[in-house]
Chain A
Amino acid sequence: MKEPFKIIASGEGGQGVLSIAKIIAYAAWQQGFHTIYVPYFSTEKRGGVSVAFAQIWDKPIPFPKFHKADLWVALSQRAVDRIYDYLHDDTVTIVNSFLVKDVTRIKKWKPYEIDATTIAKEQLGKPRTFNMVIMGAMLKFVPGLSQEGFAKALEKTFKDKYERDASLRELNEQAFNIGHDLVK
């Protein structure tokens, strides 16, 4: 890898975009990569656009922020409108099409439009799993990250939740696989 692989996850505060980036960074670290994650947080805990930066490399990463992402995910319309500046010519873009209705601004990047919200609600019966659908799709594009390794990271991250409710593990797996299979 000549450069770190750079990921941006963006959306509304409280949607869990920070967790998405954090989990992917953690999973990569578990698989032996150097990773850095930093949230680009605003003054309020809630109500602002929320952005997270993650980088994965086989060498130590010099700086937590960057200007252009290789993989870019937007979970809200405001995120598309405000964070599109972080795209380079070949950035892979993914949006949750249930929340992002207008992709004109990023049309030339041919975004993957995934209705993760509807999938989570109707196929899985648990709206919060939409993030897992998105992560499944994202993982297709992160170099060097195996699905098994990712599953292990999830085990550690959700240890407490899985202990309380074991059915959540299966649900997450299902959601992940749906997202993973949606992108070709």
Chain B
Amino acid sequence: MKTWVDLQTDSFLDANARQRAIGLVDEGSFTELAGPMDRLQSPHLPLLGEAVEFDDGIVTGVGLIAKRAVFIASQEGRFIGGAVGEVHGAKMVATLKLALDSYEKMKKDNPSLPDNRGPVAVISFETGGVRLHESNAGLLAHAEVVDQIQKCRGKVPVIAVIGSKVGCFGGMGFVAAQTDVSIMSPFGRLGLTGPEVIEQEMGKDEFDSSDRSLVYRTTGGKHKYILGDANYLVEDSIGSFRQKLSEVLSLSQDEINAHRRIGSLRLVENQLNKVRLSITLKPKDSKDVWKYAGNDNPESLVDLSTSDFLSVARRLKFMAANEEV
């Protein structure tokens, strides 16, 4: 049986959803909510003859990091690709809502609650988005998650951790972008449209979905770090993610806000710089963007270890009049 100490050095990529949830918070502090013993399975999958799971492919619960409540939703990619159905989606929504309700309660009991002592929410993404077999309910659940994320803003920091096999795609790609802070490993992938669909739309010459290196360069952690979509890039271990998470949790709410990639008019203007760059640069490959960002030999970054990459990689920066330095 894996102990919490074992989990810290374990690969995040290979860990299952429950191991990630347990290992991301302080030792022995995780309490699972709506766990497998509750048998809250999908009512829809059996009608289509599809296998069910007791937790519907998501581990939800609460733990502590330095005595601070951390509400976690951790998706399991091995169950139908971590896809979001009615129960799975409701568990994620409820996790965020519990964090927010807890914040309101703590704030009421203690109006001078320091802004880095309230609850936080962490989503460990591993999903392709909506679950086809119950797609309408999955889609509606996504909209509820977005609603909760907006409601949490300025109150409950919501943090994305991405470093699992399936990556984070489809509607959950929006949700990850909408969080306050994102932490990825080089094995994490984040995007909207999966590689096969891009190939189908654009042809194999433009995008060969079987080229794993190309797939990683386009949506992987290193690219997302250079682009600014990942605030932090960490090694592939549960302990590295936990360490970064605890650093982030010591920040003030203003500092957390400064990590946002989207969510204001100013940030829209900043993102539009990238859209304009897309038109002028017309990159054939992410490496063209890495070069533009100041990495003279982008090819050399591909195989660098995480720490070497972090010491040399230059990130995309735009000089904008309205941007704070």
Partners in one complex: no
